[in-house]
Structure 1
Amino acid sequence: MKPSARSPRDISAASTQQVHQGDCHVTNDKDVAFSTVLGSCVAACIRDKLTGVGGMNHFLLGVQSDSSRDRYGESARYGAYAMEELINKVLNQGSGQRDQLEIKVFGGGNINQKMDDVGAKNAAFVRGFLSAEGYKAAAEDLGGTYARRVVFQPVLGKVFVKHLDSSINDTLIKEEISKANKPVVEHDDIELF
């Protein structure tokens, strides 16, 4: 399922907030859009169709290795945590009705064919996660050999996806590897339960 093509002009009137690896942002403000650039990473765009509350996450890997889990704990850089966080935030701020969630997923590109296809694993993870939780993606643009810029206007449910020139891939690869090797920093003012 490919998202419908949208013009950047449809979203340009909105205030755009960047969503980086490990981020999860939710809003009900019609003038806010979320934007991210994905290589092998995956972003989910989820909205409550009744209330217009919606958000975007961005995760680096579907699951943590056992050694990183022991060292760093759970993190929004990883799919299971990131998906649960986004779904719960949208449900809590929206109608609370799971059947009203509209889910669209993007990314999972194989932007470095010389390395293991992390993007395919991320795409398989998000599809498997949604299926296991009883959800079905309303739209997806996963896989391929290119990076993507994704802009999502949650209240309206509009998504703009641009496939990026392969020249950006080297920069994204370096950034993703750097962030994957960086330890998770816990903040004292955040309580996970």
Structure 2
Amino acid sequence: MTTISEKQTHGAKTYIAQGEYAISSEEGAVISTILGSCVATCLWDPVAKLGGMNHFLLPKGPPSRADVSSFGANAMELLINALIRAGAVRERLRAKVFGGAEMYKGLTNAGNQNGLFVLSYLEREGIPCDGQSLGGTQARRVEFVPALGKARQKLVEDSHIVETVPAPEKSHDLELF
């Protein structure tokens, strides 16, 4: 079953974006994403050889949007519930977390908040975190092999912290985006 926020992998590479997650037990499956201040959580059940990854934007959103999968608590619950439906046992879940970079100095601390949120959530839920790469000033490309619980990251070389946000140029032109 595939929806806008859930992707089922079938032995190939699956890319997930903000608000999405994917699960698989296929031996050759790889789930990947690119993160800046967002966080991705890789969860797997080592006995069932089943795992998945989510990608969330912020720890929490406005109350009117509590069901949106790009917010931390909802993203975590969606991933955990999908894994359990597919045969994982909650008490055996293990985690690795990535992201939470400070991409724009002084503009926001969303990356730090995301990192603190995910570690706190895992601790509260009793899910051991076996590895983490949080913070810093560079984006990351993360690949996760869900059947084996193996993850790797590569820092994205051309994305460094922006010290200041440039002031908009004065113009009478109208820009639509």
The match for 1:83 is 76
Gaps of 5+ in 2: 1-10, 163-177
Q: CA deviation at 1:145?
A: 0.9
Aligned to 2:103: 111
TM-score by length of 2: 0.80
- 2:106 aligned partner, one-letter code: K
How many equivalent pairs are there?
A: 153
Is 1:92 the equivalent of 2:85? yes
Corresponding position: 1:161 with 2:153: yes
Per-residue deviation at 1:167? 3.2
Report whether the alignment pairs 1:134 with 2:131.
Answer: no
Cα distance in 2 for partners of 1:164, 1:58 equals 17
Question: Is the partner of 1:40 in helix, strand or coil?
Answer: coil
More helix by share: 1
Q: Which residue of 1 aligns with 2:33?
A: 36
Higher relative contact order (Cα pairs below 8 Å, separated by 6+ residues): 1
Shift of 1:168: 6.7
Task: Report the Cα distance in structure 1 between the residues aligned to 2:99 and 2:19, rounded to whole angstroms.
Answer: 15
Q: Look up the SS of the partner of 2:159 in the other structure.
A: helix
Q: Is the 8 A contact 2:66 2:74 kept in 1?
A: no
Name the SS for the 1:126 alignment partner: helix
Q: Please tell me whether residue 58 in structure 1 is matched to residue 68 in structure 2.
A: no
Q: Check conservation: 2:140, 2:154, Cα contact below 8 A.
A: yes
Deviation at 1:169, TM superposition (A): 6.4
Superposition deviation, residue 104 in structure 1: 0.7
Higher strand share: 2
Shift of residue 44, structure 1, vs aligned partner: 0.5
In the alignment, is residue 69 of structure 1 matched against residue 63 of structure 2? yes
Q: If you compute each CA radius of gyration, which structure gives the higher value, 1 or 2?
A: 2
Gaps of 5+ in 1: 1-13, 171-193
Provide the identity percentage.
38
Runs of 4+ in 1 over 6 A off after TM superposition: none
Could you report, residue by residue, the CA deviation over 1:25-80 in whole angstroms, capped at 9, with x for unpaired residues? 1111112110100000000011111111111100000111xxx332x341110000
